[in-house]
Structure 1
């Protein structure tokens, strides 16, 4: 998806490529270093909304380590309600969190998380 960062003057806002990813463990990695490098080269303003069982995180490419990995378990500062480039309304964030809660509660108990 393509999203636009709000700015006082619309022509000064940035355009971002955004993706939503899910990782139950809170540890996200690209499938390969080549995949990570392609994102950096082709979509330098990428923002990932990474959904884990703990919350929804807003993560820029710069936040990943050199191998394309990030452990979100100790990155509470990246939770969407604490760090939003896009000035999301509190109501929108609460709506997303309710969707996450509904999703997690529907996961089969046999899935090892």
Structure 2
């Protein structure tokens, strides 16, 4: 589990790298807060892309084993937005967003040191 203060794109990538897995998230399944669509139009961006890359969300992202889904749903209101996959031979951990056009690489906020 990770907080999404740096945005889903960045923090899901952190989760994938630290767990050594591939994370695939479906853009259209991301819940949009009230007003996001209007802000996205003003910025000339797609609403779900903005939701995936903007920071300061203060939400949590968690990976739940398939067999524990019912338990998780009883414990908290959840949005199921993707899947986690084991890495293939030679594959590196990564996160991809999937929409109607296929897989997309999106990035959120990255801290500079």
Whether TM-score is above 0.5 comes out as no
Structure with larger RCO (C-alpha < 8 A, sep 6+): 2
Normalising by the residue count of structure 1, what TM-score does the alignment of the two structures yield?
A: 0.23
Larger radius of gyration: 1
Normalising by the residue count of structure 2, what TM-score does the alignment of the two structures yield?
A: 0.23
